[in-house]
Amino acid sequence: MTPPDQATQIFEAQRPRLRRLAYRMLGSLAEAEDVVQEAWLRWSGAGHDKVQSPGAFLSRTVTRLCLDAIKSARSRRETYVGSWLPEPMLTTEPEEQADDLTLTLMLALERLSPLERAAFLLHDVFAVPLEEVATTLDRDAPAVRQLAVRARRHVQEARPRYPVAPEEGDRIARAFFAATRSGDTAALQSLLAENVVLQSDGGGKVLAFLNPIEGMARVLRLFDRLHRKPKAEPAEFLRPLIVDGLPGFASRERGGVLQTTALEIEGGRITRIYITRNPDKLHRIAQMLDGPSTYAARH
Helix pair angle (54-78, 4-26), 10° resolution: 40
pLDDT at 253 over 80: yes
What average pLDDT is seen over the chain? 88
Of the given ranges (45-49, 164-168, 176-180, 201-205), which has the lowest mean pLDDT?
45-49
pLDDT at 74 over 90: no
Amino acid making up residue 101? L
Report the C-alpha dihedral over residues 29, 33, 36, 38, rounded to 10 degrees: -130
pLDDT band at residue 293 under the 50/70/90 scheme:
very low
Residue 77 has pLDDT above 50, yes or no: yes
Q: Under a CB-based contact definition with an 8 Å cutoff, are residues 1 and 49 in contact?
A: yes
In the structure, what pLDDT confidence band is assigned to residue 184 with cuts at 50, 70 and 90? very high
**Mean pLDDT in residue range 29-49:** 88
C-alpha span between 71 and 108 (Å, rounded):
18
The whole model's pTM is what?
A: 0.87
Q: Is the per-residue pLDDT at 261 higher than 90?
A: yes
- Residues 6+ positions from 178 with CB-CB distance below 8 Å: 184, 187
In this predicted structure, the answer to whether residue 99 has a pLDDT above a threshold of 70 is no
Domain spans in the chain, listed from the N-terminal domain onward:
4-158, 166-298
Strands 213-214 and 246-253: unpaired
H-type alpha helices, the chain = 4-26, 29-44, 54-78, 103-110, 114-120, 130-137, 141-158, 166-182, 185-191, 216-228, 283-290, 292-298
pLDDT at 71 over 90: no
Is the domain spanning 4-158 CATH 1.20.140.160? The answer is: yes
Q: What pLDDT, on a 0 to 100 scale, did the predictor assign at position 59?
A: 94
> Looking at residue 164, what is its pLDDT?
86
pLDDT value, residue 297:
37
Laid out side by side, the sheet with 192-201 consists of 213-214, 192-201, 269-276, 257-266, 246-253, 236-243
pLDDT digits (tens, 9 = 90+) for 131-183: 999 999 999 999 999 999 999 988 888 777 777 889 999 999 999 999 999 99
CB proximity list for 80: less than 8 A, separation 6 or greater: 203, 204
Percent of the chain with pLDDT over 90: 62
What CATH number has the domain spanning 166-298? 3.10.450.50
